[in-house]
C-alpha cells in the first residue's frame, strides 16, 4: 500500500500534480516538490527560488499566489521580473542599457501600467523611473550612433579634420626638407605689404630729416637704408603672423569634431542621470 504524503505545514494529505511535478496541499496551499524541502506558498518562497535561479519553480509558486491575490502589486512586479529571468529590477535595467531591443521590450511591457495602478502612492514613481531609464538609455545609444557617423566622416575625409600627423608630432616630407608650396608666398606677400609701408613710415621721414642735416645723396642713402631695415622687420613680423594664422586654422575643430564633443558631454550627463535613477529604483524596490 502506497504511503500517503502529508503536508508539513498542516498535516493534510498532499496531492501530486503530474503536469508540474509538485505535491500540493489543497488545505493550506503549501507546495512540495520531490527532492526539495517543503516550501510554504508565500512571496518569500518565490524570492528564494528567484535568487537561486529556479525560475520555473518560482513562476509555479507565483502563479498560485496571483490566483489568490490578482491585485497584489508585489506579486505583479516579480511576475514582470520572471519574464526576463532576473531577480532585481535595477539589475535588469543596468544589464539592458546597451541593448535597443531589450529597452524597447521593457518600456513597452504592459505590466508597468497595471503595476502603477496597484502600487501605493509613495511607490507609484517606480514605473515612471523605469520608463525614464529606458528612454534615457535609448537616447545615449542614439548619441553614440551619431558620434560614430561623425568619426567616419572625419576618417574618410582628411580635409575635414586636422592633419593627424600634426597631432602626433610627425613631420611630413615638406617639413623635413624645410620647404613647402606656400613658403614663397609666406615671404613674398608680407614683403610686398611691408615695402610701401616702410617707405611711408621710415624712408620718407628719414629722407626729409637727413636732407636738412646732410647732402641730398647722403639723405637718399640713409632713407633707403631705413626703408630696407624697417621693411625687413615688418616682413618678418607679417610673415610670422601669416604662419600663426595658418597654424590656428589647421588646429580649429571641424563641425564634426565640435558635434562629437557636444554629444559626448550630453552622454556624460545622461549616464549620470541613469545612475541617479537606478538608486531611486533600488530604494523603492527594496521597500516592496
Residue 224 lies in a domain: yes
Alpha-carbon span 150 to 259, nearest angstrom: 8
Buried b (16+ CB within 10 A) or exposed e, 97-118: beeeebbeebbebeebeebbeb
**Which of residues 45 and 126 earns the better pLDDT score?**
126
**Which of residues 266 and 33 earns the better pLDDT score?**
266
Q: Tell me the HSE value of 118 on the side-chain side, using a 13 A CA sphere.
A: 15
164: confidence class by pLDDT, cuts 50, 70, 90:
very low
CA torsion sign for 39, 74, 284, 132 is positive
- On whether the CB atoms of residues 79 and 62 are closer than 8 A, the answer is yes
Residue 44 lies in a domain: no
The residue behind cell 595658418 is 246
Give, rounded to a whole angstrom, the gap between the first and last alpha carbons of the chain: 47
Residue 123 lies in a domain: yes
Q: Give the number of domains in the chain.
A: 2
Alpha-carbon span 16 to 25, nearest angstrom: 9
Q: Are residues 100 and 236 in the same domain?
A: no
| Global pTM exceeds 0.75 | no
* Helix or strand (DSSP H, E) at 14: strand 14-17
Quick: pLDDT tens for 186-216. Answer: 666 666 666 676 666 665 666 566 666 665 6
Residue 214 lies in a domain: yes
pLDDT at 78 exceeding the cut of 80: yes
pLDDT the model gives residue 117: 94
- On whether the CB atoms of residues 143 and 267 are closer than 8 A, the answer is yes
Q: Are residues 144 and 177 in the same domain?
A: no
**Which of residues 52 and 190 earns the better pLDDT score?**
52
Alpha-carbon span 235 to 28, nearest angstrom: 102
Alpha-carbon span 116 to 129, nearest angstrom: 11
Residue 14 lies in a domain: no
Burial class (CB in 10 A: 0-12, 13-18, 19+), 285: middle
Alpha-carbon span 200 to 177, nearest angstrom: 37
Alpha-carbon span 198 to 218, nearest angstrom: 19
Residue 73 lies in a domain: no
Q: The domain containing residue 202 runs over which residues? A: 170-252
Sheet strand arrangement including 22-25: 14-17, 22-25, 31-32
Q: Are residues 248 and 264 in the same domain?
A: no
Amino acid at each position: 500500500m502506497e504511503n500517503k504524503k502529508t503536508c508539513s505545514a498542516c498535516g493534510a494529505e498532499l496531492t501530486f500534480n503530474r503536469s508540474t511535478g509538485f505535491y500540493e496541499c489543497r488545505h493550506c496551499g503549501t507546495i512540495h516538490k520531490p527532492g526539495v524541502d517543503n516550501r510554504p506558498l508565500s512571496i518569500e518562497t518565490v524570492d528564494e527560488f528567484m535568487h537561486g535561479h529556479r525560475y520555473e519553480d518560482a513562476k509555479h509558486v507565483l502563479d498560485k499566489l496571483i490566483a489568490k491575490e490578482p491585485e497584489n502589486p508585489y506579486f505583479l512586479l516579480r511576475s514582470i521580473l520572471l519574464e526576463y529571468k532576473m531577480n532585481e529590477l535595477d539589475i535588469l535595467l543596468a544589464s539592458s542599457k546597451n541593448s535597443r531591443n531589450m529597452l524597447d521590450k521593457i518600456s513597452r511591457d504592459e505590466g508597468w501600467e497595471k503595476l502603477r495602478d496597484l502600487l501605493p502612492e509613495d511607490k507609484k514613481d517606480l514605473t515612471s523611473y523605469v520608463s525614464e531609464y529606458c528612454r534615457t538609455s535609448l537616447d545615449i545609444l542614439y548619441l553614440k550612433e551619431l558620434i560614430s557617423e561623425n568619426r567616419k566622416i572625419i576618417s574618410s575625409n582628411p580635409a575635414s579634420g586636422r592633419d593627424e600627423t600634426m597631432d602626433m608630432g610627425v613631420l611630413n616630407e615638406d617639413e623635413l626638407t624645410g620647404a613647402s608650396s606656400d613658403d614663397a608666398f609666406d615671404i613674398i606677400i608680407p614683403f610686398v605689404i611691408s615695402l610701401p609701408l616702410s617707405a611711408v613710415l621710415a624712408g620718407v621721414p628719414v629722407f626729409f630729416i637727413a636732407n636738412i642735416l646732410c647732402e641730398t645723396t647722403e639723405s637718399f642713402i640713409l632713407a633707403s637704408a631705413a626703408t630696407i631695415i624697417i621693411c625687413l622687420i615688418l616682413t618678418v613680423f607679417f610673415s610670422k603672423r601669416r604662419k600663426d594664422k595658418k597654424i590656428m586654422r589647421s588646429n580649429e575643430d571641424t563641425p564634426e569634431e565640435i558635434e562629437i564633443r557636444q554629444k559626448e558631454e550630453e552622454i556624460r550627463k545622461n549616464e549620470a542621470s541613469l545612475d541617479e535613477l537606478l538608486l531611486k529604483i533600488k530604494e523603492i524596490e527594496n521597500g516592496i
